[in-house]
Amino acid sequence: MSPPARPRHRSILADAGLSALVAFGLFGAMIGLKTDAGATSLILTPRPLAVAIAVAVVFVGRLAMLGWRAARPAGTPTPKRLGAVMARGGRVVAPVFLVLAITLPCYAGRYYLDLGILILTYVMLGWGLNIVVGLAGLLDLGYVAFYAVGAYSYALLAQYFGLGFWSCLPLAGLFAACWGILLGFPVLRLRGDYLAIVTLAFGEIIRVVILNWVSLTGGPNGISGIPRPTLFGLTFTAGGGEGSFADFVGIEPDITQRFIFLYYVILGLALLTNWVSLRLRRLPLGRAWEALREDEVACRSLGINVTVTKLTAFAIGAMFAGFAGAFFATRQAFISPESFTFIESAMVLAIVVLGGLGSQLGTALAALVMIGGGEMFRDLAEYRMLIFGGALVVMMVLRPRGLVSGRKPSVSLGPARQIPVELLTEGHG
Amino acid sequence: MLVAYALQQLINGVTLGMIYGLIAVGYTMVYGIIGMINFAHGDIFMVGSFLSLIAILGLTALGISSVPLILVLTLVFAAGLAGLCGWTVERIAYRPLRGSFRLAPLISAIGMSIVLENFVQVSQGARVKPMPQMIPGGVHLLERNGFQVQLSWMQMAIVVTTLALLAAFTWLVTRTPLGRAMRACEQDLKMAGLLGIDTDRTISLTFVIGAALAAVAGLMFLLYYGVIDFYIGFIAGVKAFTAAVLGGVGSLPGAVLGGLAIGLIETFWSAYFSVQYKDVAAFSILVLVLIFMPSGLLGRADVEKV
């Protein structure tokens, strides 16, 4: 179009060439020379083609990115309003999703039911963590520890005392909440990144203890044969028979029935989490959380008991993780420390942040995108986590505020107005 | 026996502490300047370790038999490429998020850490990589009741290299224009920018230097333990971060001191209590330090301005 277009093209080419050079530096050795086990020691296998492909991908990708940027006329507004649209559309979208979720067993097969159970587990974890991170603004990187406490509480209670799922569920939540308070106490004074690292350390400590306390937890072998949940004493065994749900209702026993039952259990638990946190937000406690997130010093000066406020956030968040953990144990019928690594915490935190901190609908959508999307890449096996990590970075760079990024006050005098992203600042929490 | 055993643990602990200290320097510098935990730093250490392995194998395959030459070339190769890796990570994942809200860079860093870990797993395989010992032998310091206290050449090489690198780095920070720019950025990033310091360049170089030091630590780890896998970065990273916090975030001597403390505590804990729970020991120290001594051994107290 304009005269300086030519040199611009040249600079784009030069930039892409430079990127390719950097890519060659990064990939040349790591991809190009693979260490393999040889006869006596390791040997190197050269893979020049793979390097060429990787470098070419970077070159073309960078070229396309710069070209797109250059081709777009200056002053084109970026679609920043998506967040506001999402927040407004939530009124319509949320009920639709709810209806779809409730009616899922009517039209979905076993595979999708199982996937639905998995997604809902993460939705529940996300909503639980949302209380700690999204509402109270306390960055928790060890959330999976409470999930583990819940799962092991149920597994151990069932193994040693023969208790059932429904009596263990509140106990698992209670234990997890106690751990939440226990871990919350020492970290009250910490904020921000330090808090994140300490909670991460706590999560790892709990995992290492579970891994090494072989006499109680079975160590790396885990606990198997965890009993399945029952519906008022009716079981969901594949074979049917006396005392089973199929026998009681008088239908053909089918394994799908158990999936449907589990699906409704987790749906109920997730909705309970959602309902409780929505109600809590309107209580003085919830308002104190949100105030704490915005400014801790102001909170103190207004006479809010910061200690109690933080501890309740930890405890309630942990309680829901405990419920989810107990459910996880009964769904899998087998648990081992491998299920409770740091990557799970990162996954749940990513769901909360991608959803937009504090947004209930956003969290659910993010869980759907991340877990459902992750399932689509299942065939790629080892590339899956690579894509997950890359997606985290890209998401943060493009939309650091998440899907639903505006914020609406939970309680307000007069009509509540959406607060635009630009005005939001995070406190120290 | 008792004294000899303890002395041997002391030597081992100092060696391990040097490795942690080198990684911790990278954490402390980045935290000092832009106030973020570079979560991917531990994984850069792991990448450096793999690059070293590849370089050693490659140079051996090329027919170079002199061990010192191989090690020097490997060190340059690994440090250079890891530096490039650190630069790329900063450019892609952190720079676009500068000035964004607090959580964003941390999540981005976690994502980058996952990417690096899985990139190495995919490109180099998930198997553990063993390596024969390159610097055998050592000096017997003393012998009591059949227990020999040995100071291996390897341990000596690690300690000497670390001290030399730290001396060079201290010189860089205190005596060169780049070091002055780094210190200015640490004190006040915005003000430094107003006074004509290219802050982006300074931050980039900080990442490059930190990554290069971590890569040297990776080379030492490879030589010392003789076995690496793609997962070593996470635990080593958390421990090095503990070291940085223990020493006082932002303080260079503190990072080394913290590294030494963590190395010694871990070694003695493994020797006298339990090897399985050595990570618990390191993590517990992190928790205790942050609770009771949040500014660390040599750090400045954090004054909060309202």
What's residue A81's pLDDT? 56
What's residue A229's pLDDT? 80
What integer is the mean pLDDT of A2-17?
A: 69
What integer is the mean pLDDT of B49-72?
A: 90
pLDDT in tens, A314-359: 999 999 999 999 999 998 888 988 889 888 898 898 888 888 777 8
Quote the ipTM score: 0.84
What integer is the mean pLDDT of A43-51?
A: 84
What's residue B61's pLDDT? 87
What integer is the mean pLDDT of A2-16?
A: 68
What's the number of domains chain B is made of? 1
Q: Which residue range is the domain that position B150 belongs to?
A: 19-232
A48 has a pLDDT exceeding 60: yes
pLDDT in tens, A275-317: 998 899 889 898 898 888 888 888 889 998 888 999 999 999 9
What's residue A83's pLDDT? 54
The verdict on a CB contact (< 8 Å) between B286 and A43 is no
A82 has a pLDDT exceeding 60: no
Q: Cα torsion at B280, B283, B285, B291 (round to 10°)?
A: -130
What's residue A428's pLDDT? 38
CA dist A159 and A161 (Å) reads 6
What's residue A429's pLDDT? 35
Shortest distance, CA B142 to any CA of chain A (angstroms): 34
Highest average pLDDT, of A262-271, B29-38, B133-142, comes from: A262-271
Q: For helices A383-398 and A342-355, what crossing angle results, to 10°?
A: 30
Residue B23 in domain: yes
**Which residues does chain A have within 8 Å of residue B38's beta carbon, measured at their own beta carbons?**
none
Question: What are the beta bridge partners of residue A44?
Answer: A35
Which chain A residue is nearest to residue B285, measuring alpha carbons? A201
What's residue A143's pLDDT? 92
Q: How confident is the model at residue B291 (pLDDT cuts 50, 70, 90)?
A: confident
The verdict on a CB contact (< 8 Å) between B107 and A350 is yes
* Listed range (A1-15, A225-239, B187-201) with the worst mean pLDDT: A1-15
**Which residues does chain B have within 8 Å of residue A204's beta carbon, measured at their own beta carbons?**
238, 279, 283
What's residue A4's pLDDT? 46
Q: How confident is the model at residue B53 (pLDDT cuts 50, 70, 90)?
A: very high
Residue B135 in domain: yes
Yes or no: say if A429 and A136 are a contact pair by the CB < 8 Å rule: yes
Classify residue A234 by its DSSP letter.
Answer: B
* Listed range (A167-171, A410-414, B105-109, B226-230) with the worst mean pLDDT: A410-414
Residue B258: enclosing H or E segment and its boundaries?
A: helix B252-272
pTM summary value: 0.86
CA dist A427 and A413 (Å) reads 23
CA dist B37 and B23 (Å) reads 13
Tokens of A75: 């002053």
Shortest distance, CA B59 to any CA of chain A (angstroms): 11
What's residue A3's pLDDT? 45
B226 vs A266, A372, B41, B223, B262, CA distance in Å?
47, 40, 21, 5, 21
What's residue A221's pLDDT? 85
The verdict on a CB contact (< 8 Å) between A382 and B132 is no
* Listed range (A80-89, A197-206, B5-14, B142-151) with the worst mean pLDDT: A80-89
A20 has a pLDDT exceeding 60: yes
Residue B13 in domain: no
Residue for token pair 């509140």: A170
A126 has a pLDDT exceeding 90: yes
pLDDT in tens, A130-154: 999 888 888 888 899 999 999 999 9
Interface contacts A/B by beta carbons within 8 Å: 187
Stretch 361-390 of chain A: residues touching chain B, C-beta under 8 Å:
382-383, 385-386, 388-390
CA dist B253 and B264 (Å) reads 17
Smallest Cβ distance to A209: which of B58, B280, B294? B280
pLDDT, greater one: A226 or B112 = B112
- The long-range contacts involving A187-190, CB below 8 angstroms and separated by at least 24 positions, are A187/B287, A187/B290, A187/B291, A188/A306, A188/A307, A188/A310, A188/A311, A189/B291, A189/B294, A190/B290, A190/B291, A190/B294
Tokens of A237: 């065994």
A361 has a pLDDT exceeding 50: yes
What's residue A427's pLDDT? 41
Residue B1 in domain: no
Q: How confident is the model at residue B82 (pLDDT cuts 50, 70, 90)?
A: very high
Shortest distance, CA A242 to any CA of chain B (angstroms): 47
Residue B83: count of CB within 10 angstroms of its CB: 23
What integer is the mean pLDDT of B200-206?
A: 93
Q: For helices B232-247 and B278-292, what crossing angle results, to 10°?
A: 30
CA dist A257 and B267 (Å) reads 54
What's residue B148's pLDDT? 80
B160 has a pLDDT exceeding 60: yes
Positive or negative: CA dihedral B221, B222, B225, B229 = positive
Yes or no: say if B10 and A169 are a contact pair by the CB < 8 Å rule: no
